[in-house]
Amino acid sequence: METLQRKLKDLEDVSPRKKNVFLKEMNLSKKGYPELQIREHIEQFSMSQIGKATNNFHSQNFIGEGGYGPVYKGKLCGVPVAIKLLRPRGRQGFPEFQQEVVVLSRIEHPHIVRLIGVCQESCALIYEHLPNGTLKDGLSKGLPWRDRIRILAEQRSALAHLHSSRPRAIIHADLKLVNILLDSRNVSRLGDFGTARVVHMKPLDEDTVCRRTNPMGTIGYMDPAFLTTGELTTESDVYAFGVVILQVLTGLLDLNIIEQVKEAIKMDTVHSLLDTSAGSWPGVQAERLMQLALRCCNMERKRRPTIMSDADWRPLDILRTMASGSKSRRWSQGS
């Protein structure tokens, strides 16, 4: 690996803040994290390789930052990638790195982000680069309602894939707008599996997918039952998905969105909540989907719809059919 002096010379045109970030990441290799057994299809890269891919983490390649650490775009072997670096003393650490590698290395789905490789020296995660940002970004730019409905159908498909995985089901545990990423055609991928949990399924216990763990996730999306019992279930993901649906329909990001929607339904003013920046919604069907989303957010877990039940999700399927049958471009991606 290059010397520190050589690295510093290469970083002369980088802002002081970005240089400090880079130097911190360099020091991660000294922490002595245990080496993971990486599956063969996941590439392994060195710190020097990912440094070169990002032009030594130049500020122009900085995408954003989350609880895990900063994210940079770059190119590895000619392929556009997003490189997520572990921030020292951040809210997340090696356990989240380990969890994401374990979970994503065994998942393949068109609407779940693809893990391309890792850098064990720095606990860096390398994904396919999705240039259109997050679903939150899309909503702020007035994403059309047809695309919003398609994305919801895609994400229901992703959750169904996770929850029906056997013999170990997967609970995402942090579903939210900023963890749904969009490619150049606004096709969605579910990402950030650092807090995901793998639950072993017993052959005769198909109705209960549960794991006891410390409360985690994001306020506003967290299942109240999980907060009170410490029992993380697939219904916890359904609750978060209900919140996402309400946000996609209304464009509202308020923490009390559930109460706002309930009040609008009670006052028969649902049409006033629909996000007009998305275009002209099919009002009746949109209201039915809103009511389904409220069922997802029911305080009683067993009263929430099952993500795999087509009967439960008929309102979304009807809207998806209406959207794909319009004169706008069709989407061939499965959902």
* Domain extent listing, the chain: 11-128, 135-324
Instruction: Name every residue whose Cβ is closer than 8 Å to that of residue 261 and which is 6 or more positions away in sequence.
Output: 246, 250, 270, 273, 290, 293, 294
**Structure confidence by residue, pLDDT tens digits, 237-256:** 999 999 999 999 999 999 99
H or E stretch covering 127: strand 124-128
Question: Catalytic pick from 10, 13, 137, 174?
Answer: 174
* pLDDT computed for residue 335 by the predictor: 43
**Structure confidence by residue, pLDDT tens digits, 291-325:** 999 999 999 999 999 999 999 999 999 999 999 98
Handedness of CA 320, 322, 328, 331 (dihedral sign): positive
pLDDT category at 199 given cuts 50, 70, 90 is: confident
Average pLDDT over residues 27-55: 78
DSSP label at residue 134: B
> Exposure string (b/e) for 57-74, b if CB count within 10 Å is 16 or more?
bbeebbbeebebbbbbbb
Give bridge partners of residue 200 from the DSSP assignment.
Answer: 168
> Exposure string (b/e) for 22-55, b if CB count within 10 Å is 16 or more?
bebbbebbeeebeebeeeeebbebebebbbbbbb
H or E stretch covering 116: strand 115-119
As given in the structure block, the two tokens for residue 75 are: 């190119």
Handedness of CA 242, 244, 247, 252 (dihedral sign): positive
Instruction: Name every residue whose Cβ is closer than 8 Å to that of residue 82 and which is 6 or more positions away in sequence.
Output: 63, 71, 72, 73, 74, 126, 127, 128, 129, 130
Q: Which CATH architecture has domain 135-324?
A: Orthogonal Bundle (1.10)
**Structure confidence by residue, pLDDT tens digits, 270-282:** 999 999 999 999 9
Q: Is the pLDDT of residue 213 over 80?
A: no
Q: Is 174 one of the annotated active-site residues of the chain? A: yes
As given in the structure block, the two tokens for residue 31 are: 């922490």
**Structure confidence by residue, pLDDT tens digits, 170-186:** 999 999 999 999 999 99
Q: Is the pLDDT of residue 330 over 50?
A: no
Mean pLDDT score of the chain, rounded to an integer?
85
Q: Is the pLDDT of residue 220 over 50?
A: yes
Q: Of 16-25, 51-60, 151-160, which has the strongest mean pLDDT?
A: 151-160
Measured CA to CA, the distance from residue 327 to residue 330 in angstroms comes to 8
Average pLDDT over residues 77-100: 83
Average pLDDT over residues 151-168: 94
Q: Of 27-41, 201-215, 268-282, which has the strongest mean pLDDT?
A: 268-282
CB atoms < 10 A from the CB of 10, how many? 17
Q: Which residue has the higher pLDDT, 42 or 328?
A: 42
Percentage above 70 pLDDT, the chain: 80
Q: Which residue has the higher pLDDT, 5 or 322?
A: 322
* pLDDT computed for residue 66 by the predictor: 79
* pLDDT computed for residue 18 by the predictor: 56
Which fold does the domain 11-128 belong to in CATH? Answer: Phosphorylase Kinase; domain 1 (3.30.200)
